[in-house]
Amino acid sequence: MRYLLVSFLVMLNIALNAQQHFPKYRSPLDIPVYLSGTFAELRSNHFHSGIDIRTQGVEGHKVFAIGDGFVSRIAVSPFGFGRAIYVNHPEGYTSVYGHLQRFSPEIEAYVKQEQYRQRSFTVNLYLDSGQFPLKEGQFLGLSGNSGSSGGPHLHFEIRDAATQEPMNPLYFGIQMKDFIRPAISHFAVYPVNDSSFVMQQHKPFYSTVQGWGEQHRLPDHRAVELNGTFAFGIAVVDQHNDTPNKNGVYLIRLLQDSTVLYEVKADRFSFGETRYINSYIDYAYYQTNKKRLIRTAVDPLNKLSLYEKSDGIVEVRSGDTLQLIFEVLDFNQNRSLLPFTLIGIDPDTSQAKVIPPGILVKAGTSFSLEAENFRINIPKDVFYKDEYLLMTCETDSLTGVETFQIGDRTIPVHKAFQLAVRPPDFKKPDKLYIAYLDEKNEISALKTKLEKGFLHAEPRVNGRFMVLADTLKPEIKFLNFGQTKSVSELTALKVKIEDKETGIDTYIATLNGEWLLMEYDAKNKLLIYEIDERLKQGENYLRIEVKDQVGNQAIKEVKLLN
C-alpha cells in the first residue's frame, strides 16, 4: 500500500507541474508531433538538451514561433545545431529551433549580411528586442538537416532565459499520442568494494530482462545471490505510438520496501554538467557492448543535478532476503516495474583480492608523470572516482612507431588532460600530430602543437596514442561545374573538400578576388555557393583554398562562364 501511495504522489507531482507552473505554447510545427528524441535522452558524451520532432523524413516544413517574443540569437555552424534561432519570450523562457534548412527571408538577409561583414560562414549573432519582434505563430524558417543532424528533423528546446538551462519541453504544452510503457531490457549488479561478490564473482553481474507491459522480471524469476555492498543498473527505452524510435525515459526510481533509495528525473540540467553522463552510465559496459545502463551508484565527483535522490547503494549480509524494485515512467505516466530479490549468502573467502594493474590516480587530486619520451599532466577533476591507469610506451618492431598507452578506453574522462610526446626525427616536424587509436585501430587526429621540442595535445579520452605525419594536401573537387564551363543554368555551385588524416581546419573561397560566402556542410564534405548577383555576366574566376590541421594547403582555381 505504501509503495502505491509513493507512486501515486510521483504521478500527481508530474501532473501538477504540467498543469500549474508552465505556460502553454503552440507547437513549432503544423504537422503531427512524433518524437525521435526526448529530453535528457542518453547521447554520446552528453544528455539531449531538447526534443527531436520528426518531419516526415523530409526537409522544408514551416517552423513557427511558439509564442510572442523576439529573436535573441541566431547561430550558423557546420556542426552542432547548424542553422538555429533562439527566441526570448516574456514569460522568462527561451525557445530554440535547430538544424534549420534556412531562415525566414528577412532573417536570412540579415544573417547573410553579417556573414559577409565578418567574412565567415560560421556566425553567432546576439540581437536586441527591437530587431526581430515576433508574434505567436510567426514564420521563422524551414526545417532541415543542417549541422550535425543525422537526418531531417527539428531539434526543439525550451530554456530558462535567465540561466540558459534547458528544461523539459513537454511541460509547455507539446503533446503526442503515447500509451506505450517503457521497456526494460538489461539489469546489472555492481560490487562497490573488493570484499563484495555477486554470483560468486568480484565483478559486475549482468542479466537480460524478460516481460512486457508493466511487469518485467529477471529470467526464471531468479534471485541474485551476493554478499557485501552493491549498486544496480538498468537499460531502458521508451516508445510512443505510431513511431518506431526508441527514446529516453522521464523518471527512474529504485525502491526497497517502498522506501525510495534512488531517483532521477528529466526536468532540467545545465550544459556545464552534461558530460557527467559518462559517470551516470556504466561507461565500461557501453564501450564494449554499445548499450547504456544507468547506474544507481553516484561517483564522488559526479555533480549531475538530475539526481532527486542518490542513495542507490544496498548492503546485503549472509541470511538477508531483500526485495527491491525499479520503477520507470515516461512523461505521460506510462509505468514499468522490475522487481528483484537479493539473497545474502556466506562470503566467499577463497577468491584473492584483485588489484588492477597501473598507477592509482585518486579522484580530486592532480597527477603528473614524466618519462623519456612523453609527459602526462592530469588535473584534479579529470576522473569521477579513483582509477588505476596503466601507462606504457611500446615500439612496433616493423614500423618503429611508438604507441603510448594511457589508461584504458573503458575509463571515462570528464575534461581534457595534457599529453606531451617527444617527436621522432622527421624532416618536417610541423607536419607531425598525435593520433588516438580506437578499438578497431581507426585513427582520430588530435589538435597538436609543436613547442619546446615536444608535441602537445589535450585528449579527452583514455587509450592508445601515437605520433603520425600528415604530408598530404586536402582534396578539392568541383562537382557540378568545371573549367570554362557555362554555369548560367545552375542555381548553386558545389565543391567537395576532404582531408583524410588531420581534417579540414580552414577554407576560403573568393569570386573575382572578393571573399565569397560558401556554406560548409561538414558531414557531407561540401561547400555550396547559392548563385546570386556576385556572379557577373561573362567570365568569372573562382578560387578555393583549403588547409588541414597541420597546415597542408590545397588551392584550386576555375574560370566560370555565365
Of 158, 148, 141, the closest CA to residue 50 belongs to: 158
Asked, for residue 7, whether it belongs to a domain, the answer is no
User: What's at 359, amino acid-wise?
Assistant: I
CA dist., res. 480 & res. 69, Å (int): 42
- Domain boundary (121, 143, 172) is at 172
Confidence of residue 335 (pLDDT cuts 50, 70, 90): very high
Asked, for residue 381, whether it belongs to a domain, the answer is yes
Asked, for residue 541, whether it belongs to a domain, the answer is yes
Q: Give the mean pLDDT of the chain.
A: 94
Query: Is the confidence at residue 147, as pLDDT, over 80?
Result: yes
Query: pLDDT tens for residues 218-231?
Result: 999 999 999 999 99
Beta carbons within 8 Å of 125's beta carbon, 6+ residues apart: 73, 74, 75, 111, 114
CATH number of the domain residue 463 falls in: 2.60.220.30
CATH number of the domain residue 551 falls in: 2.60.40.1220
Confidence of residue 123 (pLDDT cuts 50, 70, 90): very high
CA dist., res. 447 & res. 456, Å (int): 8
Residues 66 and 209 both lie in one domain: no
Q: How much is the pLDDT for 3?
A: 52
Of 419, 420, 410, 414, the closest CA to residue 462 belongs to: 410
Residues 197 and 272 both lie in one domain: yes
CATH number of the domain residue 100 falls in: 2.70.70.10
Please report, for residues 137, 152, 351, 417, the alpha-carbon distance to residue 382 in angstroms, rounded to integers and kept in the order given. 45, 36, 32, 7
Confidence of residue 92 (pLDDT cuts 50, 70, 90): very high
Q: How much is the pLDDT for 18?
A: 47
Q: How much is the pLDDT for 212?
A: 85
134 forms beta bridges with: 69
Residues 465 and 484 both lie in one domain: no
Task: Tell me if 377 sits within 8 A of 418, measured CB to CB.
Answer: yes
Q: Residue range 76-90: average pLDDT?
A: 98
Count of other CB atoms within 10 angstroms of residue 530: 12
CA dist., res. 322 & res. 228, Å (int): 13
Q: How much is the pLDDT for 430?
A: 93
Query: Is the confidence at residue 10, as pLDDT, over 80?
Result: no
Query: pLDDT tens for residues 23-67?
Result: 999 999 999 999 999 999 999 999 999 999 999 999 999 999 999
CA dist., res. 123 & res. 108, Å (int): 13
Query: Is the confidence at residue 268, as pLDDT, over 60?
Result: yes
Query: pLDDT tens for residues 425-442?
Result: 888 999 999 999 998 989
76-99 per-residue burial string, b: 16 or more CB within 10 A, e: under 16? bbbeebbbbbbbbbeeebbbbbbb
Please report, for residues 136, 139, 228, the alpha-carbon distance to residue 133 in angstroms, rounded to integers and kept in the order given. 10, 12, 61
- The position carrying cell 541470511 is 319
Q: How much is the pLDDT for 485?
A: 86
How many independent structural domains does the chain possess? 4
DSSP state of 111: H
Confidence of residue 17 (pLDDT cuts 50, 70, 90): low
Q: Residue range 376-386: average pLDDT?
A: 96
Residues 161 and 230 both lie in one domain: no
CA dist., res. 351 & res. 339, Å (int): 30
Residue 531: give the domain boundaries: 475-561
Pairing label, strands 335-344, 224-237: parallel
Asked, for residue 137, whether it belongs to a domain, the answer is yes
| Phi, psi for residue 226 in degrees, rounded to 5 | -165, 170
Residues 222 and 323 both lie in one domain: yes
Tell me the percentage of the chain whose pLDDT exceeds 90.
87
Asked, for residue 351, whether it belongs to a domain, the answer is no
519 forms beta bridges with: 528
Provide DSSP, 41-86: -EETTEE--SEEEE-TT-S--EEE-SSSEEEEEEEE-SSTTSEEEE
pLDDT: which is higher, 116 or 424: 116
Residue 49 CB-density burial (10 A; 0-12 exposed, 13-18 middle, 19+ buried): buried
- Domain boundary (110, 139, 172) is at 172
Residues 270 and 299 both lie in one domain: yes
Q: Residue range 401-425: average pLDDT?
A: 93
Residues 530 and 455 both lie in one domain: no
Confidence of residue 20 (pLDDT cuts 50, 70, 90): low
Residues 260 and 400 both lie in one domain: no
Q: How much is the pLDDT for 352?
A: 64
Asked, for residue 12, whether it belongs to a domain, the answer is no
Asked, for residue 2, whether it belongs to a domain, the answer is no
Residues 289 and 430 both lie in one domain: no
Asked, for residue 349, whether it belongs to a domain, the answer is no
CA dist., res. 374 & res. 378, Å (int): 13
Residues 551 and 531 both lie in one domain: yes
Task: Tell me if 380 sits within 8 A of 387, measured CB to CB.
Answer: no
- Domain boundary (301, 321, 344) is at 344
Beta carbons within 8 Å of 442's beta carbon, 6+ residues apart: none
Residues 460 and 479 both lie in one domain: no
Residues 337 and 197 both lie in one domain: yes
Query: pLDDT tens for residues 519-556?
Result: 999 999 999 999 999 999 999 999 999 999 999 999 99
Query: Is the confidence at residue 285, as pLDDT, over 50?
Result: yes
Q: How much is the pLDDT for 398?
A: 67
